[in-house]
Structure 1
Amino acid sequence: MDLRLHDGVPMPRLGFGVYKVSDEDAVPAVSTALAAGYRLVDTARLYGNEHGVGAAVRASGLAREDVFVTTKLWNDAHGTGAARAAFEASVERLGLGAPDLYLIHWPCPSRGLYVQTWRELLRLRDEGRVRSVGVSNFQIAHLEQILDDSGQAPTVNQVELHPYLQQRELRAFHAEHGIVTQAWSPLGRGTVLRDPVITAIAARHGVSSAQVVLRWHLDLGHGVIPKSVTPARIRENLDLADVVLDADDHARIAGLDRGQRTGSDPDEVA
């Protein structure tokens, strides 16, 4: 289940997120995920668990090229020199060589440095320090700025996306420019799992609410990075091959959009 990024790099469509997982807990969680069959792990400097993620990947017995590793630049490292230093520190903590994907975590528009920072990520990619570069939490205006400046679109924009926040206009912009939409908080931090529409669809198909929502994401072409530290749920979130949603299911889920965020507004993060 790979997506082909516009630079030719293949990226697994379904990955494993480790937000709010401690460095110590990341080792067993990522080990469980890799053993279950996940082949993408998404971390960030903010999460404080790059050491643990790297250790789990190294101990997995898998070849490095078989595990896609994403990490992200935090907000205090915008700007040319700071971005390069932050990248190098993340590479050292991971201990895996070149990351597969490096993202600007938030645009932080009040700082006015995300365009400069994007140029530095492109240089890191061109130097072979990272396979692919993208962004996270960028809105259309932010994407237009970096496109106008560099002429190069990010391969991925990782954004909050779930049935209560469907981001249709942003997704259309991504499709127009060959940008993969990757969903963080794909289950709305659990809020959507109790929605009567979701629970009814899950009951009809004999699957969990989480499996319904994750299949919805995959059907729409999103990349998705659910997070759990519970082994049974880690495995369940990957077990989607037999989950089939019909047109009526999709229509009902489409009607749940409220524009409701569980996280921060990208225009307000400094």
Structure 2
Amino acid sequence: MIDDLEPVLGSHTATPLGGGDICRAFRIEVDGDLYFAKTPRFPDPHLLPVEAEGLAGLDAAVPGLVPGVVHVDEDWLVLQWVEQAVADPAAAATLGRMLAHLHAAPAGDFGDGHAQGRIGRLPMPAGTFDTWAPMYAELRLRPLVDEGMPHCAALVEALLAEPEWAGPPEPPSLLHGDLWSGNILWARHPRVIDPASHVGHRETDLAMLALFGTPHLDRILSAYQDVFPLAPGWQERVGLHQLWPLLVHARLFGGGYGPRAEAVAAGYLRAA
């Protein structure tokens, strides 16, 4: 399969990397130059082109935020190689500023995204909404709320009935969409990868950074706030924004993610 890259890159050597359950990954060397390449484990004509489109959108908003796309087709995505380093406060501050500029850049309507968008292996519906709360309820939460999640279901209805309950109005922002620490390439100039890019609420990206732990998160947030201050009360809304990735993980992996999502939703309903 790796020989399929011969017409694109020429003669090369490929070293397998630890990939995920969706793609296999390789380190490619061509005449001393290094690249990252990945290929789906199962046929999917949309997966890599949609990812490349998301990377291009992020790069257009903040040049250098993502590795450059060298080649994409249905079978392969090839990116510029990023030599990684240990995360440090300076790199974290750089990342925070870049994310602030991303979220401050002009974006479309809430819910805008690729028709074939996805997060992990799950579809990520697109649509057009004037405000964030109904978009979040209809496109992100409702499709993932299973039977036996009464608090999550009630929260969806609460967001639709009283959208102002979700916090002060925010302009739409272009999001990375799957911004956990594993999708950060730490270097002097950090970059992000594997987006589930769409237009939403900027606090969602930041809440996802906090969900599973990110090195030097305090420096990321401090530098972010220096560029694009968050609305008052953002700390109290972190759980609300984490509800979507919790439901994604509940659908994909089961375990304790569903009960955790229910606990978050119940807490917000009690506070309402």
With structure 1 as the length reference, what TM-score do the two structures score?
0.27
With structure 2 as the length reference, what TM-score do the two structures score?
0.27
